[in-house]
A and B are shown apart, each in its own frame.
Chain A
Amino acid sequence: MKKIFLGYQRKNNVVGIRNFVLIIPAQGNLRMLAQKICDFVPETKTTYFPWEIGRSKADRSVMKRTFIGLGLNPNISSVLVLGIEGSGFEELDAEKIRDEITQTGKRAELLIFKKDENIFSAMEKSVKIVRELVLEASKERRRAFGLESLSIGVKCGYSDTTSGISGNPVVGKLFDQIVSHGGKAFFSESPEVIGGEHILTKRAKNKDVAQKLVAAAKGFEDKALSVGEDIRAINPMPANKEAGISTLEEKTLGSISKSGTSIIEDVLEYARIPKKGGLYFIDTTPLCELYTGFSAAGAQLMLFQVGSNAIALNLKPSGSGGNIIPISYITGNSETYEKQKDNFDFNSGPLFNNIEKMDEYGEKLLDKILEICSGTKTKAETVNYQERIELYLQDPVF
């Protein structure tokens, strides 16, 4: 029987697994207004981002691309873009952001306020529009879609020996399935590619992609050296070694196994949306920028594959980042799972002593993902917490 999930068909030809209205404040000055609208109206999200003042032109362009990417994310039903008349940077022009979203077929409304607008009257105008957007969003209905409509990202952390054996390879199986059916799968963490370039380049679609993979890893290594850090000297970390990982290559190998065995279609710049299905590598850090990066590239859901129990999930279960895609914490370490069951959606720990069951666990994970996509909350989603989003901004602030 064909495997399906229930999702929302969006006008810009993608399928959502959640249903939100997004408020985009095109300037830092509008963040408070955006937050307050979200407090008043349910089922809304906003991009609470760092100030654009003092940033380079390149970084402001990344911000613009990220806002548009978030607006186009499959989990977003419609958008309200907020701007201030006559002020702000060219790259962050509210009307242009709105237009780039509506060009794709998705609904995006625009409010430009005068500089001396009062916040409370701005609230009145905004809330009126957003209430209507949320009402319209609630009329959308889920229907059945196949694996070709999936778009999933994965990050791994707190590596131990389970990561490369019972953890990440299961995600690899999931990714192989998604990609073979025409869906999209994303992985990233450029600094973690160091030591494994030869493994990844073997799977690159062509020489151009292979070169981009090597450049992505080298870019981070060079950046580290330029500030006096030698990545190769500090990785693996003491915690990794205590857990049995002996060399950088061993750690990288374990990390890379989460991408499966598919051809790597392309290396994507931050916040670029790929047009067709396939496996994609996003060039960015392993940190919170990546969560936003997945959202801006069009992922519906993000997996966080955890090794050892160093992560203080009990203190902050919902993670941070783009806030518009759910995060699902999964692990291949049964001890980790037992200690934090409230926070994990999947445990492939038993696989460590029964590695022949790899395919079986791949299917189990796929079924769990389809269930989450169809509406079952991730454990992290059962806690209300929204953090400032991190974006991948590379230049100094002036």
Chain B
Amino acid sequence: MEKGYSQEQIIILNSRDNVGIIKRDVKKGEKIIIDEEKYQNSIEVKDNIPYRFKIALENIDIGDTIIKSGEIIGKAKEKIQKGEMVHVHNIEGLRGRGDLKNK
């Protein structure tokens, strides 16, 4: 795992990630400041998100992979906006279903 970093409000584990982990409960409408040009230096929170849950760092299309800690943890099953909560309602595991065959 590449060295992660955390800021006031968010943890980004790897520079390849498109989700971050928030460090306290955040409310819809709040702005999270990130010292990273890659994310335009801030994220507007689009959902009420509990402490330690995931937040989208950028817009994610249906079918796009979700990257955390530099690894694929699933794919989007809905369109996800930057700042939305990322969890079981909008992503699914690629390996999480009995109907999918293993490679």
Contacts and interface: CB of A to CB of B under 8 A. Distances in A.
B87 interface: yes
B53 A244 contact: yes
Interface stretch (A2-10, A76-84, A148-156, A157-165): A157-165
A243 B87 CA distance: 11
Nearest to A252: B95
A352 B94 CA distance: 27
Interface in B48-100: 50, 52-54, 68-69, 71-74, 86-88, 91-98, 100
A138 B84 CA distance: 63
B54 A244 contact: yes
- Chain A interface helix/strand/loop/mixed: helix
Given A247-B74, A249-B93, A352-B23, 19 more contacts: A161-B53, A164-B69, A230-B98, A232-B97, A233-B97, A235-B96, A244-B50, A246-B73, A246-B88, A246-B91, A247-B92, A248-B93, A248-B95, A249-B94, A249-B95, A249-B96, A250-B68, A355-B5, A356-B5
B11 interface: yes
Contacts of A248: 93, 95-96
A55 interface: no
A194 interface: yes
A24 interface: no
A244 B52 contact: yes
A253 B71 contact: yes
A195 B13 CA distance: 19
A343 B102 CA distance: 40
A235 B97 CA distance: 9
Interface residues of A, number: 31
Contacts of B71: 199, 249, 253
A221 to B, nearest CB: 8
Contacts of B74: 246-247, 249-250
A250 B53 CA distance: 12
A218 to B, nearest CB: 7
Contacts of B91: 246-247
Interface string B4-22: 1110000101000000010
A257 interface: yes
B16 to A, nearest CB: 13
Interface residues of B, number: 32
Interface in B20-64: 21, 23, 50, 52-54
A241 interface: yes
Interface in A81-121: none
A62 to B, nearest CB: 28
Nearest to B93: A247
A160 B53 CA distance: 10
Contacts of B100: 232
Nearest to B8: A353
Contacts of B93: 195, 246-250
A226 interface: no
Contacts of A191: none
Contacts of B6: 353-356
A169 interface: yes
B68 A353 contact: no
25 contacts: A161-B21, A161-B52, A161-B53, A165-B21, A195-B95, A232-B95, A232-B97, A233-B97, A233-B98, A244-B21, A244-B52, A244-B54, A246-B91, A247-B88, A247-B91, A247-B93, A247-B95, A248-B96, A249-B72, A253-B68, A352-B11, A352-B52, A353-B6, A355-B4, A356-B6
A328 to B, nearest CB: 24
Nearest to A243: B52
Contact of B52 (A162, A218, A232, A358): A162
